[in-house]
Homo-oligomer: A and B are copies of this chain.
Amino acid sequence: MGNPTDTAHRPDLERLFNPRSVAILGASQNVKSISGQPVWSLAKHGYKGTLYPVNPKYDTVEGVKCWPSVESLPEVPDLALILVAAARVPQMLREVGKKGIPFCIIFSSGFAETGAEGLALQHEIAAIAREHSIAVVGPNCQGMIGVTDDVYAGFGSAFSGDNFRQGSLSMTTQSGGFGYGVIILAEESGLGFRSIVSTGNESGLTTTDFIEWFTRDPQTKVIGAYMEGVKDAHRLLEVGDKALDADKPVLIWKVGNTDVGQRAAASHTANLGGALALYEAAFRQRGMIRVRDANELIDYTQVFECGKRPAGNRVAIVTISGGGGILMADQCVESGLSVGPLTRESELALKDIIPSFGSWQNPIDITAGIFNNPEMLAQAMQIIVDDPTVDSIVVIFASLQGEIATLRAKELVELSARTPKPILAAWSAREKFASEAYRILKEGKVPRFSTPVSCGKALAALTAFAEAQRRRAKEKTEPVLSLQRPDAKAMIAGRSADLAEYQAKALVAAYGIPVTREVLAKDRAAAVAAAKEIGFPVVMKVQSADIAHKTEAGGVRIGVPDAAAVEAAFDAIVASAKAHVPSAVIDGVSVQEMVSGGTELIVGVQNDPLFGPAVMVGMGGIYAEVFKDVSFRLAPLTRSVAESMLRDLKCFPMLDGARGRPKADVDAVVDVLLQLSALSVDLKEELAELDINPLVVLEAGRGVRALDALAKPHGRT
- A residues near B (Cβ < 8 Å) are 109-110, 113-114, 156-158, 160-161, 173-182, 184-185, 188, 226, 228, 255-259, 292-295, 320-324, 326-327, 329-330, 333-334, 356-357, 368, 396, 398-401, 428-431, 433, 450-454, 619, 622-623, 625-627, 629, 650-651, 653-654, 658-659, 661
Residues on the B chain within 8 Å of A181, using CB = 321, 324, 398-399, 428-429
Contact yes or no, B653 A357, CB < 8 A: no
What are 13 A-B residue pairs whose CB atoms fall within 8 Å in the complex?
A109-B357, A110-B357, A157-B399, A157-B401, A175-B322, A175-B324, A181-B321, A181-B399, A259-B329, A293-B454, A294-B428, A622-B659, A627-B629
Q: Which of B109, B329, B357 interacts with A114 by CB under 8 Å?
A: B357
| Cβ-defined contact, B178 with A323, below 8 A | yes
The answer, among B113, B156, B178, B295, for a CB contact under 8 Å with A357, is: B113
Q: Is A188 a contact of B293 with CB atoms below 8 Å?
A: no
Contacts of A226 in B (CB 8 A): 323
Residues of B within 8 A of A654 (CB): 622-623, 626
The distance in angstroms between the C-alpha atoms of A136 and B334, with both chains bound, is 36
> Which B residues lie within 8 Å of A357 (CB)?
109-110, 113-114
A368 to B295, CA, bound (A): 26
In the complex, chain B residues whose CB is within 8 Å of the CB of A292? 453
Copy total for this chain: 2
Asked whether B626 lies within 8 Å of A177 as measured between CB atoms, the reply is: no
User: How distant is the Cα of A178 from the Cα of B320 in the complex, in angstroms?
Assistant: 9
- Point out the residues of chain B lying under 8 angstroms from A333, CB to CB: 258
A161 with B430, Cβ < 8 A, contacts A113-B357, A321-B176 known: yes
- The reply to whether B324 and A177 form a contact with Cβ atoms under 8 Å apart is yes
Contact B396 A327 (CB under 8 A): no
Alpha-carbon separation in the docked complex, A452 to B258 (Å):
15
Is A451 in contact with B398, judged by CB distance below 8 angstroms? no
* Given known contacts A176-B321, A179-B323, A157 and B293 CB-to-CB distance under 8 angstroms: no
Residues of chain B contacted by A173 (CB below 8 angstroms): 323
Contact between B623 and A428, CB atoms less than 8 A apart? no
When C-beta atoms are compared, the residue in chain B nearest to A187 turns out to be B430
Q: Are A175 and B323 in contact (CB under 8 A)?
A: yes
Please report the C-alpha to C-alpha distance between residue A451 and residue B326 in the assembled complex, in whole angstroms: 29
Out of B157, B185, B323, which one reaches A450, CB within 8 Å?
Answer: B185
What is the bound-complex CA distance between A684 and B226, given in angstroms? Answer: 55
Cα distance A564–B158 when bound, in Å?
87
Q: Which residue of B lies closest to A175 (CB)?
A: B323
In the complex, A110 Cα to B357 Cα: how many Å? Answer: 8
